[in-house]
Amino acid sequence: MSLAELGRHEGPDAFAVGVARDGELVSVGFIAPDLAEPGSWRIRGMASAPESRGRGYGAAVLDALVAHARQRGATRIWCNARIGARTLYERAGFRVVSDVFELPEIGPHYVMELS
């Protein structure tokens, strides 16, 4: 699947980053301004192929998304993070700011933010 196909549900201000290995997309993420809160940006759609996890691809995508938002004046970056991805975000400086909640058909998550 391509970034364009994955991003078809994202808004026009979304920025996408992907990592390809041997011509296959193995990690992806999107970020866009959160229009409800000036200066706030939301990360969406972070995912890595199961066989590619633990190799630094997700961290590289996350770093690029954060850098993009910071270069555009972000004062807060946040996401709904899957429970299993908590350490990925914590290593990048994010912190948990909510109790665990369930997203239907996706599973348990936290709200995490980087200020």
Structural domains of the chain, ranges and CATH numbers in brackets: 3-114 (3.40.630.30)
CA separation for the pair 54, 48 (Å, rounded) = 9
**What pLDDT is recorded for position 107?**
93
Cα–Cα nearest to 72, from 25, 17, 32, 43: 32
**What pLDDT is recorded for position 5?**
58
CB count within 10 Å of CB 62 equals 25
Listed in sequence order, the residues at least 6 apart from 8 whose beta carbon sits closer than 8 Å to its beta carbon are none
Q: Are 62 and 27 in contact (CB under 8 A)?
A: no
**What pLDDT is recorded for position 99?**
96
Give every residue of the chain whose pLDDT is below 70, as ranges: 1-8
